[in-house]
Amino acid sequence: MCSHYKDHHHTRGRSCMACSDYRMERFIEPCLLLLLLEKPAHGYDLITRLREFGFAEDQDPGMVYRNLRRLEEQGAIASEWDTSGTGPARRLYEVTDEGRDLLNAWADNIKLNIETLQSFLERHQTLDP
């Protein structure tokens, strides 16, 4: 996998026009929900597990924690402090029923996006060389 994720917006194609590297907005949200549905976890762990969805090796922690906060405010996930293990205390997150619904809504939306993008590609391929 290429250097997916990170590094757009600020170093975007001013001189290098070939590097338009945009992605689906807010995609981190369904990824977090899916990871947490597979296995409850804490933020620091999710930062590394996000790589499985194409996020950068050094994924911004702030992005992850802020999204977890927002999801919890919305009632999609719930957390409790876990002081069992070694190291500093961690928040253990799990998905609520509402969160499961939210993830399903995301999946539907993602399906629509795939269809839109695919029809774009098909139309692009009908052009002359």
Partner DNA sequence: CTATCTATGTGTCACCGACATATAGATGAA
Partner DNA sequence: TTCATCTATATGTCGGTGACACATAGATAG
Write out the residues near DNA by the rule CB under 7 A. Answer: 5-12, 25-28, 42-45, 47, 60-63, 65-69, 85-91
CA 20 to the chain's CA centroid: 19
Nearer to a copy of itself, 8 or 66 (CB): 8
How many chain residues bind a copy of itself (CB under 8 A)? 48
Would you give the DSSP letter of residue 27?
T
* Positive or negative torsion for Cα 41, 39, 48, 46: negative
What is the smallest separation between the CB atom of 104 and DNA, expressed in angstroms? 18
Give pairs for 102-105: CB < 8 Å, separation 24+: 102/33, 102/74, 102/76, 103/30, 103/33, 103/34, 103/37
Residues in contact with a copy of itself by the rule CB under 8 A = 2, 4, 8, 13, 17-27, 29-31, 34, 37-38, 53-54, 74-76, 98, 101-103, 105-107, 109-114, 116-121, 123-124, 127
